[in-house]
Structure 1
Amino acid sequence: MLKERIYLTFASLAVVLALAGHGRPTAGESLATLGVTLAGTVLAVFTADVISHIVVHESLPTRTEMRHIVGTLVGALGGVAVPFVFLGLAAAGVWEAERALHASAVALIVALVVIGWLAVRRARITWWQRLVVLGAEAVLGLAVIGLQLVAHGG
């Protein structure tokens, strides 16, 4: 599930930053864009998982294996729920959409750190290797932010 959470979190971060850099999107527009992007990402990951299974096992996934693939994807969606909550609050008038997008970006970066920690906390690697892995993930997260800033002249 960590792999799927990383995919969905990075995709969400890129979308949230792109939306924040495009003038003043409404909460509804932001919710729709994020929802469509995540739906597309989930379908892409699902397709990749099924095709990978076929290549490795030379057969279609069984019903149990298919439930596992779908369950993993559904569970991974929980990791990107916060932006929907923040944008829902913006749609209800509690926040401005722009503030919700910025708060979502921060929450997604924190989520990436937590995902990274979960990935390395029990690994049989040294503390400095853990630090390198977490640092690399942080650099990649910052690269997403940097690419969005370059793309939007910010």
Structure 2
Amino acid sequence: MPRHPVPDPVAPGQESVWDYPRPPRVEQVDARVVIRLGGEVIVDTDDVVRVLETSHPPVYYLPIAAFAEGALVPTNGGSFCEFKGGARYFDVRGGDAAAQRAAWNYPDPSPGFDLLADRVAVYARPMDACEVDGELVEPQPGGFYGGWITSTVAGPFKGVPGSMGW
């Protein structure tokens, strides 16, 4: 794959991830997000914020308070984003299932990312299902990034083999 990929054609009603900014933008969106794990709904909310960054599908952040009791369990370790600041991680539990380090948040986000305070993002891959407005999402390729792919975004998406330099 080329170092700088050619954006996929954009269909009506779609956004190209290649039109997203860097540094990323945070925005409140009118959407309903439902996540299921272990056969249970662990969150169902329309209080949704998304982060848009060049070459990445949107990352959805949901209020910690909207999650079912016991669904988010703080775990050890953290990471740092040059834009959003220091992140902490959570194990995610639902029914009899548990996904280690499958969610994260920025408890004290960097200036400009204040909307992320008290919100959490979840990796789609280890969940039973993640939905945006009733559409099942596809996880962003690779194991590092947490974007959610829906029919409303066009790629190609960072995370595929050969995309490290994008």
Same-fold call, TM cutoff 0.5: no
Name the TM-score class by shorter chain.
under 0.3
Higher helix share: 1
Structure number with greater CO (CA < 8 Å, separation at least 6) is: 1
Higher strand share: 2
Between Structure 1 and Structure 2, whose CA radius of gyration is higher? 1
Provide TM-score, normalisation by structure 1. Answer: 0.25
Provide TM-score, normalisation by structure 2. Answer: 0.24
